[in-house]
Amino acid sequence: MSAPEQTPGGSYAPALETPRSPYRRSRSTHTNWELYGWLFMRMSGVVLIVLVFGHLFVNLMTGEGIHQVNWGFVAGKWSSPFWQVWDLLMLWLAQLHGANGVRTIINDYAERDGTRFWLKMALYLASAIVIVVGTLVIFTFDPCADPSQTFDFCRPAIDNVPTVTSPNS
Amino acid sequence: MATSLTPPGQGTPVGKLKPAGTLYRGREGMWSWVMHRITGVAIFFFLFVHVLDTATVRVSPEVYDGVIAQYKNPVMGLGEAGLVGAVVFHALNGIRIILVDFWSGGTKHQRKLFWGVVALWTVLMVPFLIRHLTIVFTH
Ligand code: HEM
Ligand code: HEM
């Protein structure tokens, strides 16, 4: 790559400017994408601390820890919009944050243009698959799909009709 | 390509003459950067596998429970401990990076902040390990 890597914050002025050359306030030729990425890494990081620590605590520390995790456990969580939204946010933020981080690392280590290009294509493809699959799983999951489970909210509504007991019994 | 990894004054070594003493061995700043990078990549690869194994909830309860059973043996239990250790380090060191970037005293105190990360990591990991390893090994 011939052009120097951009530093967060956009391009710097060349080291030697013509003395007293007029200061140009706006440069329409460059974008701020690297700056936005830099900011996103920090903002998503702060939110991810809450999401990932909460996820690890509930799944590993409460109840029987890792031994409580099974299909019914997931059904219990994903029957509530709270955990659906939690996991959806965590999925998108962690995957985008991780992908952007790995992109930086590819830029650092893959020196040949072709290698860098294909590694990034593989990265973007893998990230798209994870986000699409993960999102679909959350939205299409049916906590009542297992006939052997016993959640109250899965019982047919007719069961909830109060029964009238006869005075004689 | 000059990258952020090219240490100053260290080009490609020519011939057998190894430049003496120019290998950059930083202190806390470099090691926290190396570890932040390694843990970030490790979590990234875990997340890829993790979302795919979680996706088997859509296949059937039996298939999902079979996949998750793999996470319950003692060897994987140690792996989970390592994963959590990596996540906790990456998160705490992430806060340190953010402080260095945005807090006016951050650069001045970055070395102390690193040891703060190590201390907090220990404080969080000891109770976690006691609980998690007890669950894994005595179930
Ligand atoms: C050993 C540690 C872990 C265990 C036992 C575990 C377990 C689980 C379980 C049971 C689910 C299903 C839904 C739920 O419980 O909310 C899930 C989903 C999820 N986990 Fe974890 N997890 C672990 C670590 C992590 C870490 C470190 C991350 C973040 C980097 C993460 C990110 C996610 C995401 C994004 C989902 C939603 C997946 C989807 O949309 O299909 N997990 N995890
Ligand atoms: C738990 C909360 C997290 C926090 C506070 C956090 C914070 C950060 C910060 C501040 C950076 C530096 C960005 C820069 O230098 O511009 C970073 C980089 C990175 N993060 Fe995270 N992160 C978190 C979770 C994650 C997760 C879940 C993953 C993986 C899916 C991940 C993967 C990475 C990678 C690969 C890098 C690039 C490292 C490098 O360039 O050397 N992080 N993180």
Per-residue pLDDT of A24-82, as tens digits, reads 666 666 778 888 999 999 999 999 999 999 999 999 999 899 999 999 999 999 999 99
Within a domain: A11: no
With cut-offs at 50, 70 and 90, classify the pLDDT of residue A101: very high
Q: Spell out the SS3 assignment of chain A.
A: CCCCCCCCCCCCCCCCCCCCCCCCCCCCCCCCHHHHHHHHHHHHHHHHHHHHHHHHHHHHHCCCHHHHCCHHHHHHHHCCHHHHHHHHHHHHHHHHHHHHHHHHHHHHHCCCHHHHHHHHHHHHHHHHHHHHHHHHHHHHCCCCCCCCCCCHHHCCHHHHCCCCCCCCC
Within a domain: A2: no
pLDDT at B29: 75
CA of A120 to the centre of ligand 1 (A): 25
Q: Where are the alpha helices (DSSP H) in chain B?
A: 28-55, 61-69, 74-102, 110-138
With cut-offs at 50, 70 and 90, classify the pLDDT of residue A154: confident
Within a domain: A19: no
pLDDT at A92: 97
Cα of A124 vs its chain's centroid, Å: 14
CATH code for position A46? 1.20.1300.10
Is B130 an interface residue toward A (CB < 8 Å)? no
- Interval A81-93 mean pLDDT: 96
CA of B66 to the centre of ligand 2 (A): 32
Asked if B84 and A60 count as a contact pair (C-beta separation under 8 A), the reply is yes
Within a domain: A16: no
Burial of A154 (0-12, 13-18, 19+ CB in 10 A): middle
Query: Which residue carries 């799909």 as its tokens?
Result: A145
CA of B86 to the centre of ligand 2 (A): 11
pLDDT at A128: 97
Cβ contacts from A onto B, under 8 A = 113
Within a domain: A77: yes
pLDDT at A1: 44
| Dist. CA A140–CA B71, nearest whole Å | 24
> Which of A46, A52, A77 would best serve as a mutation to test chain B binding (most B beta carbons within 10 A)?
A52
With cut-offs at 50, 70 and 90, classify the pLDDT of residue A143: confident
Is B25 an interface residue toward A (CB < 8 Å)? no
Q: For chain B, list the domains and their CATH numbers.
A: 28-138 (1.20.1300.10)
pLDDT at A58: 96
Check if the interface score ipTM surpasses 0.90: no
Domain count, chain A: 1
pLDDT at A52: 98
With cut-offs at 50, 70 and 90, classify the pLDDT of residue A100: very high
Compute the half-sphere exposure of residue A97: CA atoms within 13 Å on the CB side of its CA: 25
Q: pLDDT 10s per residue in chain B (139 long)?
A: 455 565 555 555 555 565 566 666 677 778 889 999 999 999 999 999 999 999 999 998 999 999 999 999 999 999 999 999 999 999 999 999 999 888 888 778 878 888 999 999 999 999 999 999 999 998 7
Q: Which of B40, B52, B87 sits opposite A101 (nearest CB)?
A: B40
Asked if A165 and A114 count as a contact pair (C-beta separation under 8 A), the reply is no
Within a domain: A84: yes
The boundaries of the domain holding residue A85 are 33-144
What is the torsional sign of CA B34, A39, B6, B95?
negative
Q: ∠ CA B67-B74-A75 to the nearest 5 degrees?
A: 35
pLDDT at B22: 64
Within a domain: A8: no
Within a domain: A167: no
Burial of A24 (0-12, 13-18, 19+ CB in 10 A): exposed
